[in-house]
Amino acid sequence: MLRRPRSYWLFVTFFVLSCASLGCARIERARECKQLAETVNARLDEVERLAPRAAPSGSSTTDMLDAGVRRVPGAAHAADREGGAAASKAERYRRMAQLYLGLSREVASVDVADERLVKQIENYSRLMKRTARALDRLAEASQAGNHRGIRAATTELQTLQERQRTASQQIDQLCLSP
């Protein structure tokens, strides 16, 4: 019978444990990504309920927000200037801002070990905070009938929406990568 040197068995043991730990890291990252997705989706479901209803059915939450944001300048007619509709919109935008701010805090608190994922989550959290601030500005402008303020907030929200899509795609790529 052929005897293997002790260094061989140490190498084999190290190799097997390394492979096992890499598999565990991947499983752990999958768990972290699942937790992150559940956190984000739950909060965005709430945002979707507040988003303007003019978006086509089957569109994503960000598309609904975008559709609502794009509608605001054109929708700020006489009814908005009269106060009732503007106050209602403003309140809806303020509530959406609160939800985004809450999402920012929840996302930042998700416990993640992968350093690359941590950086992407921090970026996503910052984008959620900026979205909340932009929605607050949109609420103020909408309530005041400030069309220039509405346009500025709308433009900012559209830019932030694109950045959110990119950040979300980057997180997805990290979650799906080996």
Domain layout of the chain by residue ranges: 28-176
Burial of 77 (0-12, 13-18, 19+ CB in 10 A): exposed
pLDDT value of residue 148: 97
128-161 tens-digit pLDDT: 999 999 999 999 999 999 999 999 999 999 999 9
Q: What is the pLDDT of residue 143?
A: 93
User: In whole numbers, what is the pLDDT of the chain averaged over residues?
Assistant: 76
Under the banding of pLDDT at 50, 70 and 90, the label for residue 62 is very low
| Residue 147 to residue 134: CA distance in whole angstroms | 15
- Provide the percentage of residues in the chain whose pLDDT is more than 90: 41
Higher pLDDT, 84 or 47: 47
pLDDT of the residue at 14: 55
Question: In the chain, where does DSSP find H-type helix?
Answer: 6-50, 61-75, 78-81, 84-109, 115-144, 147-176
CA-CA distance, 149 to 153, in Å (whole number)? 6
What pLDDT score does 72 carry?
A: 33
pLDDT for residue 73: 34
Residue with tokens 């805090």: 105
User: Is residue 25 pLDDT above 70, yes or no?
Assistant: no
pLDDT at 79: 38
Segment 116-136, tens digit of pLDDT: 899 999 999 999 999 999 999
Please give the structure tokens belonging to residue 123.
């970026």
Let me know the angle formed at the C-alpha of 152 by 150 and 157, rounded to the nearest 5 degrees.
90
Is pLDDT above 50 for 101? yes
- Is it the case that residue 34 has pLDDT exceeding 70? yes
Determine the average pLDDT of the residues in 4-20.
Answer: 53
Residues in CB range of 139: below 8 A, 6 or more apart: 89, 90, 91, 92, 93, 94, 97
Q: Report which listed range, 56-60, 93-97, 112-116, is most confident.
A: 93-97
